[in-house]
Structure 1
Amino acid sequence: MKRPQINFQPGLRSLSLRERVILLCLLVLVVVFGGDFLFNRVYLERARELKAAVAGAEEQILHHQRLLSREELIHAQYAELESPMAAVEDSILTETEILRELSELAAKMVHVKSIVPRLGHHEGKQVMFVALDFEGPFESVVGYVEKILNEMPSEVGSLSLAPRSGEGGGVVCRISIRVECFES
């Protein structure tokens, strides 16, 4: 009896075409998934680390911003408490200057009956609100109002004109203006 001869060829040549295709597909899958697992794992882990670092940095920034805003508030409050006398002196000088200027602007034909000043704040600036009552002929009253608006840094809040009772006619005017004093 003869022994059958087994023709053993090492390598891919001994495989059929079907087996070669299956082996190639398996090899491609192993390379793709293995590479994907190794590379993406590294990148995903790095992305997680960066995300955590960014979140930590954002938290620190917010914390420091809160500290800065508190510090600014404390400095502002301290500045208000530090020099109240200087602010009072400045406001008295400013009030005196504004009232003197309003009186100087009054023409001979306009009689200023009352000036009521009040200090206040508007849009972060120290301003003086002044209520003026005056009377005189219509042309003089209008001229006085125009002088106030042209020669002083002021804005009109309200203006009312009424005919003057009695002889001579004329008008009585009440005007409320806002005059910028100085930066607060």
Structure 2
Amino acid sequence: MPLFAQVLGPAFATLAAPVQALHAAPLPCRRTGQARIERGRHWLVPVLAALARLPKEGHALPVEVVFSACGQGEQWARRFGRWPMVSRLWAQQGRLHEQLGAVHFGFELRARDGGIDWSVRSVRVFGLLPLPTRWFDGVRCREAWAAERYTFLVDVTLPWIGALIRYEGWLDAQ
């Protein structure tokens, strides 16, 4: 069963067909598209971005994502222009977990209007140090189908720092 179908359960069937198809495609698979990345200006942004291996800022960047099987989950090898961003995802206790650099996120996924909203429910750094979830109330993640394209938006705002990163764009439907 596809990873996102495991986490969403019956709600997976309510996703727009192209969103379902992206998450149910046989692995490995590759998608390409375009993105825009903006980073915040606080002096801690480069440090935090390095911990999570977030990409650098850029506009109209070519995007490539290679989805592959990894243990009981998936690996997403993204490339925004020249900048790689690789993460490992898996299902555990009804949540989607993502390891991104030194940061481990636990997400609750919710199907809405044919897309998927991701909500942060837990964060650990270096696998040991839990961070207060309320620090991540300013995180918005959304996958959708708009204008005949699979679209994504990740917008991260943190207390005391403000904007960390915002990246949005689209991938081909294939």
TM-score by length of 2: 0.25
Larger strand proportion of the pair: 2
User: Higher relative CO (CA 8 A, sep ≥ 6), structure 1 or 2?
Assistant: 2
Larger helix proportion of the pair: 1
TM-score by length of 1: 0.24
Whose Rg is larger? 1
